[in-house]
A and B are shown apart, each in its own frame.
Chain A
Amino acid sequence: MIVDISELSVSYDGIDALQKISFGINEGDFLGIIGPNGAGKSTLFNCMLGINLQYQGVIKFFNKDIRKSEEYLTHIGYVPQKPVVDRNFPATIREVVSMGQINNDPDKVDEALQKVWMHELADRRIGDLSGGQQQRVFIAKALVNSPKILVLDEPVTGVDIHNKDLFFQILSELNSKGKISIIWSSHDLDAVERLANKVACLNKTLFFHGISQEFFNDEEMMKKYSETSMQMHMHHH
């Protein structure tokens, strides 16, 4: 197991955001994390990435407690929710990908850009790209240190269909050919069913964790999920 989360609980001002979540991720897994808005997906990611350390329970990456060392972060590539890039930010794609690069090898930057089919645009400015292209640059950026795990937080929200399909194709290849484990949160149940081999369904507690097909073939489970999502949706409005 490369990630082991046990009894993870988080609360903000006395309100529970996550309650006793426990699950593990094996090497090579493509895990889709699904759940309605406000289910705690971002909170879970913030804990896993060391942004929020105010949690109870234990999170281990590569058998080491993340509270004890930040070294695990060098093996993780993180792709945030579609970020708002300042159109005037003076950086080329090459410069963006090389930010956070551990060694300064320019070949690695080119290699990462090739994996997402963006190498021909390497000297263009990040602000001149469309949202979908920017997200591909952020995958390249996440790949530049040859990570073992890729973490993606609802990466295709607001991205057009063409770029979304390209994005999924890239993820699939990285997982199958590149042997990179993937942790991916998404609203898109169809895409999760198509791509992920494991599913974790969150709604403050862990609703389901296991093989993707078992979840999607279980009508009872799907019905329960839709009802909960609808309730959360109504609650939000």
Chain B
Amino acid sequence: MQNAIVSGIAISLICSTVGLFLVLRKFSLFGDALAHSAFGGVALGLFLGFYPLWAAYAVSILSALGLTKIRQKYDISGDAIVAILLSSGIAVGIVLISLSGGFSIDIFSFLFGSVLLVSTENVIMILGLSAAILIILITGYKKFMYITFSEEQAQVSGIPVQKLNYLLIAIAGVTVVTSMQLVGVLLVSALFVIPNVTAMMFKRSFKQTIILSMSFSVFSTVAGILISYPLDIAPSGMVVLLAITLFIGSLIMKSAGMVKTAGIQKKIH
């Protein structure tokens, strides 16, 4: 369980940070689409006899970058790209799993997440990747924030917009596969989206929003694992349910006027 909690904290931190940039770009479901394509990667790994996670990393990053390129070149809308990525990942997965003799326990672990998947070697890998992702995002956060705010203005300020966009998308691909081990393919995007939408309701600055989102995410993950362990249920469901509880709680607080905002609520003239 220690392994699950340590890796859970690392995963919560990266998911909430990467997720904020995706949510603000109106790309909330991209994490979901990447997770489904990673599922295709897991199936490919099992079919070919590779370690499924490596195959998932490769497929997730390549499909993220490839589809971003296609989207730019052919001017296809973001939601259409998400739909294509999502269904093709699952389709490839189903075909390969059928060819390799049907669903196994491994596949279910990837679909729903499993603390059993998190061995000590996995924890080391998760911590290493999370540290690298956080260092990149924290050192470059101002540039990523700028591009998210206005690509045009960022470009005129001499920021390499296209390169950083590809970097962010590749990071999203790595984050999805890293997180999939704990929360599973089906619920990974919840960690990208829910803590951020909850944090944004508090109408704080960018920095404070990231810190709030990280706090919500870490709380749901740790509490979710602690609650689910003695009950012997998959932690992913409990983690996401707690995140949703925080979201609903914040909604209620907001509608009751209990949320204080950084600036003012009314428009100033």
| Interface flag for B67 (CB, 8 Å) | no
Chain A neighbourhood of B266, CB < 8 A? 128
Query: A58-99 vs B: 1/0 string, CB under 8 Å?
Result: 000000000000110110101010010010111110111011
Q: CB distance B200 to A100 under 8 Å?
A: no
| Interface flag for B268 (CB, 8 Å) | yes
Complex CA distance for A91 and B203, rounded to whole angstroms: 9
Whole-angstrom distance from the CB of A136 to the nearest CB of chain B? 12
Query: A92-135 vs B: 1/0 string, CB under 8 Å?
Result: 10111011110000000000000000000101110011100100
Q: CB distance B269 to A130 under 8 Å?
A: yes
| Interface flag for B102 (CB, 8 Å) | no
| Interface flag for A50 (CB, 8 Å) | yes
| Interface flag for A159 (CB, 8 Å) | no
- When A90-B200, A90-B203 are in contact, do A125 and B158 touch as well, CB less than 8 Å? no
Q: CB distance A51 to B155 under 8 Å?
A: yes
Chain B neighbourhood of A78, CB < 8 A? 153, 156-157
Interface centre among A49, A90, A130 (most CB of B within 10 A): A90
Which B198-240 residues have a C-beta within 8 angstroms of A? Answer: 199-200, 203-209
Complex CA distance for A94 and B150, rounded to whole angstroms: 16
Q: CB distance B145 to A121 under 8 Å?
A: no
Q: CB distance B152 to A80 under 8 Å?
A: yes
Q: CB distance A90 to B209 under 8 Å?
A: yes
Q: CB distance B268 to A133 under 8 Å?
A: yes
| Interface flag for B159 (CB, 8 Å) | yes
How many interface residues does chain B have, given as a range?
Answer: 20 to 34
Task: Tell me the interface secondary structure of chain A in the complex.
Answer: loop
Q: CB distance B149 to A91 under 8 Å?
A: yes
Q: CB distance A121 to B268 under 8 Å?
A: yes
Question: Which of B145, B158, B265, B268 touches A95 (beta carbons < 8 Å)?
Answer: B145
Q: CB distance B205 to A91 under 8 Å?
A: yes
Q: CB distance B263 to A88 under 8 Å?
A: no
Closest to B20 in A: A90
Q: CB distance B150 to A124 under 8 Å?
A: no
Interface centre among B153, B156, B158, B200 (most CB of A within 10 A): B156
- When A76-B156, A78-B156 are in contact, do A124 and B146 touch as well, CB less than 8 Å? no
Question: Which of B142, B206, B267, B268 touches A90 (beta carbons < 8 Å)?
Answer: B206
Complex CA distance for A91 and B261, rounded to whole angstroms: 12
Closest to A86 in B: B24
Q: CB distance B153 to A100 under 8 Å?
A: yes
Complex CA distance for A208 and B24, rounded to whole angstroms: 44
Query: B182-210 vs A: 1/0 string, CB under 8 Å?
Result: 00000000000000000110011111110
Question: Which of A76, A92, A101 touches B262 (beta carbons < 8 Å)?
Answer: A92
Complex CA distance for A217 and B149, rounded to whole angstroms: 43
Q: CB distance B263 to A90 under 8 Å?
A: no
Q: CB distance A74 to B158 under 8 Å?
A: yes
Chain A neighbourhood of B207, CB < 8 A? 95
Closest to B142 in A: A99
Complex CA distance for A131 and B268, rounded to whole angstroms: 10
Whole-angstrom distance from the CB of A145 to the nearest CB of chain B? 8
- When A121-B268, A128-B267 are in contact, do A98 and B142 touch as well, CB less than 8 Å? yes
Q: CB distance A92 to B263 under 8 Å?
A: yes
Q: CB distance A100 to B152 under 8 Å?
A: no
- When A51-B155, A91-B205, A91-B206 are in contact, do A128 and B146 touch as well, CB less than 8 Å? no
| Interface flag for B105 (CB, 8 Å) | no
Q: CB distance B263 to A124 under 8 Å?
A: yes
Q: CB distance B263 to A80 under 8 Å?
A: no
Whole-angstrom distance from the CB of A107 to the nearest CB of chain B? 17
Q: CB distance B268 to A80 under 8 Å?
A: no
| Interface flag for B154 (CB, 8 Å) | yes
Chain B neighbourhood of A96, CB < 8 A? 149
Q: CB distance A125 to B156 under 8 Å?
A: no
- When A49-B156, A92-B263, A130-B268 are in contact, do A125 and B203 touch as well, CB less than 8 Å? yes
| Interface flag for B264 (CB, 8 Å) | yes
Question: Could you show 5 A-B contacts with beta carbons less than 8 Å apart?
Answer: A76-B156, A78-B157, A100-B159, A128-B268, A129-B268
A interface vs B, CB < 8 Å?
49-51, 70-71, 73-74, 76, 78, 80, 83, 86, 88-92, 94-96, 98-101, 121, 123-125, 128-130, 133, 141
New contact pairs (4) apart from A80-B152, A90-B24, A125-B203, CB-CB < 8 Å: A50-B155, A99-B157, A100-B157, A123-B263
B interface vs A, CB < 8 Å?
24, 142, 145-146, 149-150, 152-159, 199-200, 203-209, 261-269
Q: Which are the 10 A-B pairs with shortest beta-carbon distances? A: A124-B263, A100-B157, A90-B209, A99-B146, A73-B158, A125-B263, A78-B156, A92-B205, A91-B206, A128-B263
